[in-house]
């Protein structure tokens, strides 16, 4: 992942995060936020194909605890926000925003979660139990963030990325506002 501190045209400060969410991303993310000295209401721009579910959940909780706004977008070399994609575990980071802004032409993508365990490592009962626990964790997290439980229906609809329409994202309360920058 990469990070860069940016100034948003409306006067807010921001941190633009780009790349795959890996095993140590949450710690790295905290360090980047500390260095950027963002305060409540400042913006985290997200551009990521996703990655590790647990890290995405932790990063989203950090965003929420700091009162930050999230936007799916990247920032170009001249500092202008541009549309981007945020999928899979990135959606959990996005959901952590106290305010979650929709940038025109940016996209949010969800899909079924999967296990990285080798086949045969656990019984069918253990697999069902782990799947139920994971579903419960995701549902609890999204509900705490104010996102409609209906997001689970969108997630479970496909193993492939399902790109949400802006209307769907607003209806699920995944997006809470239009992008305030210019």
pLDDT in tens, 13-31: 999 999 999 999 999 999 9
pLDDT of residue 156: 86
Residue 10 pLDDT more than 90? no
Mean of pLDDT values over 75-103: 93
pLDDT of residue 113: 75
Hey, is 24 helix, strand or coil? Answer: coil
d(CA 69, CA 139): 21
**pLDDT, tens digit, 9 for 90 and up, residues 111-135:** 987 666 555 566 776 777 877 888 8
What is the DSSP track for 81-115?
EE--EEETHHHHHHHT-SEEEE-TT-EEEE-----
Burial of 78 (0-12, 13-18, 19+ CB in 10 A): exposed
Mean of pLDDT values over 59-68: 98
E-state strands within the chain: 2-7, 13-18, 43-47, 69-72, 74-75, 81-82, 85-87, 99-102, 107-110, 162-163, 177-178
pLDDT of residue 132: 84
Hey, is 161 helix, strand or coil? Answer: coil
**pLDDT, tens digit, 9 for 90 and up, residues 33-57:** 999 999 999 999 999 999 999 999 9
d(CA 134, CA 141): 11
Are 122 and 114 spatial neighbours (Cβ–Cβ below 8 Å)?
Answer: no
Structural domains of the chain, ranges and CATH numbers in brackets: 2-178 (3.90.226.10)
Mean of pLDDT values over 55-68: 97
Cα dihedral: 158, 59, 107, 9 (round 10): 170
Are 115 and 159 spatial neighbours (Cβ–Cβ below 8 Å)?
Answer: no
């Amino acid at each position: 992942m990469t990070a860069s501190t940016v100034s948003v045209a409306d006067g807010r400060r921001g941190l633009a995060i780009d790349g795959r969410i890996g095993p140590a991303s949450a710690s790295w993310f905290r360090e980047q936020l500390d260095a950027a000295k963002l305060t409540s209401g400042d913006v985290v721009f997200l551009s990521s194909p996703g990655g590790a579910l647990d890290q995405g959940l932790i990063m989203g909780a950090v965003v929420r605890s700091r009162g930050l706004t999230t936007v799916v977008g990247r920032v170009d070399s001249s500092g202008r926000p541009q549309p981007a994609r945020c999928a899979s575990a990135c959606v959990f980071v996005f959901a952590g925003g106290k305010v979650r802004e929709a940038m025109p032409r940016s996209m949010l993508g969800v899909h079924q979660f999967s296990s990285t365990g080798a086949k045969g490592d656990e019984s069918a009962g253990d697999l069902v139990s782990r799947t139920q626990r994971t579903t419960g964790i995701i549902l609890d997290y999204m509900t705490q963030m104010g996102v409609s439980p209906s997001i689970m229906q969108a997630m479970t609809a496909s193993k492939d990325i399902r790109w949400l329409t802006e209307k769907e994202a607003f209806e699920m309360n995944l997006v809470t506002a239009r992008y305030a920058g210019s």
